[in-house]
Structure 1
Amino acid sequence: MREHNHTQEATLVLSNVRMTDGRRADIVLDGEHIAELAPPGQGQAERKLDCTGLYVSSGWIDMHVHAFPEFDPYGDEIDEIGIRQGVTTIVDAGSCGADRIGELAASARSARTNLLAFLNISRIGLSRIDELSRLEWIDAERAAEAVRAHPDLIVGLKARISGSVVKENGIQPLRMARSLSGALSLPLMVHIGSGPPDITEVIPLLEKNDVLTHYLNGKHNNLFDAAGNPLPVLTEAISRGVHLDVGHGTASFSFRVAEAARRHGIAPDTISSDIYRGNRLNGPVYSLANVMSKFLHLGYSLQEIVDAVTVRAADWLNRPELGRIRPGESANLTLFAVEDGPVPLTDSEGAVLTASHSIHPKGVVIHGQYAACEIRP
């Protein structure tokens, strides 16, 4: 561990925390930065928080949320699905198009949670749930203006390509999204679901660094055949460097499909919740931690799971500092416990599995402040 000497007394020490690789340390914070990683019990600061029994990681990142509270059903408050759930950075997955992205940006300024966003290619966003049913709503000029106005917020473009969204337009909205992606030099996040269009039409249009979200959904139009084998379009997409994102949601995560993916070594690049008010309060999502617990039960290691909400998400966002715990870096941390005891976990198809261990966030450090988590069932 690196040690730093400071003439000024540090403000907070997180004492005896455990890293996911098994190391223990005292994390000494000096304002908004990590001052030192000290041996357990040796960190010095004005205040000490005893973290015995807790893990620490860089702050969790949820790559797929809906954080524009004015929209119903797909909306929620930023901090409600952010720091109160142990998540220090959320990425809104296309709630807003060009019409209202400015309002989302304004709401981020009053929140404590870090917010980034995918811009919906439909200018109306999720003000209605068939936002790609009229091609004139895909306004390239308005989208370009939005990207120019909010370069620090917008990380990519979002296209929801399922039958209920595109209606009679089939694959054409995705072709238009692909063109817009090239013009704006931004990757796509593509939602998959019930057809048409058929999944074999959708996946070949995704390129390296595009995000395929809901890849473990159990709908008829999914990425695995009846025997649980991955379709060729999925394995080809992985070979191209397409990024696999969970995006659990109300209807987009199946234990059956996730177990098939696990058998074939098709692990998620990022674990995300697709959380909004309804599935936070009523399930089956509840929280990012609940989704992470499902992967723990599926047999993924704690290190793999935490990396999927920290390091790998931060790298995709081109913000690697969000995934690191190092002296000199900003203090962006999540404290959590792995607790024993039977916990029922429900997927989007109503299947219930009983887990013997589950992940529970206990607190975050963000912008120089510690905050306890407040998951509200």
Structure 2
Amino acid sequence: MTHDLVLTGGDVLGHGTTDVAVRAGRIAAIGPGLTGAVVHDVTGRLVTPGLIDLHTHVGPGYWGIDPDPVAWCTGVTTWVDAGSAGAYTMDGLRRTVAQVGVRVPALLNISAVGLAGRTGESRDLANCDVGLAVDTVLAHRDLIRGIKVRIDHETVGANGVEPLRRGLAAAEACGIPVMVHIGTTPPTLDEVLDLLRPGDIVTHCASGIASPLGPAVRDAYERGVLLDIGHGSGGFAFDVAQAQLEAGLRAYTISTDLHARSVHGPVFDLPTTIAKLVAVGLPLTDALAAVTVHPARALGLPGGTLDPGAPADIAVFRVEEGRFEVVDAHRQVRQAPLRLANEATYVGGRRLPARLPAPSPPWIPLTDAQRAALARREHAVRALLATPLVGVDGLAEQFPRPTTRST
């Protein structure tokens, strides 16, 4: 049988060295000797399901970024928007989702204003309307997979864990999980964790600010609360991540919290975040499960595997071995023994085209070094694109001149 697309000879995650065939946007077969209308040799490359980033911000507002310029060169095919939109702004997120080339399921912010601004969305409890949140979930069942609640002092003010209680009530009514952001206190971390149910998610689980290492974390972990990395601009510390790993508190999912402030560092992208977890001792196979099958299970998402019938979301990586410097949110440095360099990304069997990122929004704080690096990158891209693609030897005469007859 001839398929639409076949990737041949790759190291296919969970299947060894073999071929992957795609037909009608889904994985059609895995095995040797497959034939296709289009065949790409990926010998020596790691072939994985398209990566699923459980915590990103792509919706309109202060934090959102366009996912496509990052997705095509990182292998991330599913971007879970974690609370950028609330009930008042969900229609705006839906319009954004319709315009991008990747999959964007969403977590509804319990605050109806969402993340239009930097913070403070749950200081007015009138915004945290349980009935309105439930109605919004029911109206957008195809898009919304959970509820997002940010619980830190700057976000909730004097309201403590009440926004979380309301988020849990809405989630319970709709049969979906809650993702809770942890950070500065009050309220205390123990107050937050004690409310969570099996299947709920704690993001920024290796935060150097919240330092979730006490008995309450152990209790939550053992009753089935899921830990998510959610790196972000301030949510990941190497020492906390390593201490949790040594204590047997393993993050179920690895996510970036990629947004307009973190995309230029310290996060950069999901493959870099994977390398950071490998740097503190997590085996690569476990890290890959935490960005494929685990986030799919956590939110009931399609994908996460390359089994026949699954969506043909595929990432092809070159695994580079060596010593690679990686940095956390607090400028602590570790050496990763490998890095994943993406060579191709497919969504529904369609290879994502190259896309250039837009300039950083004017309200995003950047260091002088970041600004200089962005300027150098723009100059390099401009110079590359301004140079003719090939010389005369790379051209064909597309419209030959007629042969002149001699008289």
Normalising by structure 1, report the TM-score.
Answer: 0.90
Shift, 1:303, TM fit: 1.1
Aligned-partner Cα distance in 1 for 2:203–2:308: 34
Q: Distance in 1 between matches of 2:339 and 2:291?
A: 16
Equivalent residues in 2 for 1:1-377, closer than 5 Å: 6=1, 9-21=2-14, 23-39=16-32, 42-68=33-59, 70-72=60-62, 74-128=63-117, 129-219=119-209, 221-224=210-213, 231-281=214-264, 283-319=265-301, 321-371=302-352
Where 1:46 maps in the other structure, the secondary structure is strand
Q: Quote the Cα distance in structure 2 between the aligned partners of 1:183 and 1:331.
A: 33
Separation in 1, partners of 2:356, 2:271: 10
Q: Secondary structure of the equivalent of 1:11?
A: strand
Q: Distance in 1 between matches of 2:309 and 2:155?
A: 46
Unaligned runs of 5+ in 1: 1-5, 225-230
Paired residue secondary structure (1:279): coil
Is contact 1:61–1:313 with CA below 8 Å preserved after alignment? yes
Hey, what's the Cα distance between the residues in 1 that align with 2:284 and 2:326?
17
Summarize the Cα distance change of 1:36–1:20 in structure 2 as closer, same or farther, 3 Å threshold: closer
The 1:179/1:30 distance shift into structure 2, 3 A limit, reads closer
Q: Aligned AA for 2:277?
A: F
Give the distance between the partners of 1:37 and 1:222, measured in 2 at CA: 43
CA distance in 2, matches of 1:138, 1:307: 34
Q: 1:195: Cα distance to partner?
A: 0.2
Q: Assess, with a 3 A threshold, how the Cα gap between structure 1 residues 22 and 181 changes in structure 2: closer, same or farther.
A: closer
Q: CA deviation at 1:125?
A: 0.6
Q: Deviations over 1:206-231 (max 9, x none)?
A: 11111111110011x3212xxxxxx1
Q: In structure 1, how many angstroms separate the alpha carbons of the residues matched to 2:251 and 2:343?
A: 25
Distance 1:180 1:117 in 2: 15
Aligned AA for 1:55? L
Q: Equivalent residue of 1:80, what SS?
A: helix
Task: Say which SS state the counterpart of residue 269 (structure 1) adopts.
Answer: coil
Shift of 1:22: 6.8
Kept in 1: contact 2:278–2:337 (CA 8 A): no
The Cα of 1:297 is off from its aligned counterpart by 1.5
SS in 1 for 2:28: strand
What letter corresponds to residue 16 of structure 2 in structure 1?
R
Equivalent in the alignment of 2:383: none
Q: CA deviation at 1:170?
A: 1.6
In the alignment, the residues of structure 1 paired with residue 93 and residue 53 of structure 2 have an alpha-carbon distance, to the nearest angstrom, of 17
Q: Once the 2 structures are TM-superposed, how far is the Cα of residue 344 of structure 1 from its aligned partner?
A: 1.5
SS of structure 1 residue aligned to 2:315: strand
Alignment CA distance shift 1:262-1:143 (3 Å): same
Go from structure 1 to structure 2 and tell me whether the alpha carbon gap of 1:34 and 1:170 turns closer, same or farther (over 3 Å shift).
closer
Query: Partners in 1 of 2:53 and 2:70 — Cα distance?
Result: 9
Of stretches 340-349 and 149-158 in structure 1, the one that deviates more from structure 2 is 340-349
Relative to structure 1, the CA distance from residue 314 to residue 147 in structure 2 (aligned partners, 3 Å threshold; closer, same or farther) is same
Query: Retained in 2: the 8 A contact 1:363–1:373?
Result: no
Could you tell me which residue of structure 2 aligns to residue 3 of structure 1? Answer: none
1:13 to partner: Cα distance: 1.3
> 1:83, 1:113 within 8 Å by CA — same for their partners in 2?
no
- Counterpart CA distance in 1 for 2:127 and 2:73 is 35
Which position in structure 2 is the counterpart of 1:227?
A: none
C-alpha change, 1:31 and 1:183, in structure 2 (3 Å) is closer
| Cα deviation digits, residues 251-278 of structure 1 (max 9, x gap) | 0000010110111121110000000122
Q: After alignment, is 267-276 or 140-149 more displaced?
A: 140-149
Structure 1 contact 18–24 (Cα < 8 Å) conserved: yes
CA RMSD of aligned residues (A): 1.8
- Residues 375, 194 of structure 1: alpha-carbon distance in 2 compared, 3 angstrom cutoff: farther
Once structures 1 and 2 are overlaid, which stretch shifts more, 137-146 or 55-64?
A: 137-146
Q: CA deviation at 1:81?
A: 4.1
SS at match of 2:244: helix
The CA deviation at 1:183 is: 2.7
- Change over 3 Å in CA distance of 1:76–1:237 after alignment to 2: same
8 Å contact kept, 2:203–2:227 = yes
Q: Partners of 2:158 and 2:50 in 1: how far apart?
A: 42
Q: Give the 3-state SS of the residue equivalent to 2:303 in structure 1.
A: helix
SS in 2 for 1:306: helix
SS of the counterpart of 2:97? helix
Equivalent position amino acid for 1:19 in 2: V
Q: Among the aligned pairs, what percent are the same residue?
A: 33
Is contact 2:233–2:262 with CA below 8 Å preserved after alignment? yes
3-state secondary structure, aligned to 1:202: helix
CA shift at 1:233, angstroms? Answer: 0.6
Q: Contact (CA 8 Å) 2:50, 2:303: kept in 1 or not?
A: yes
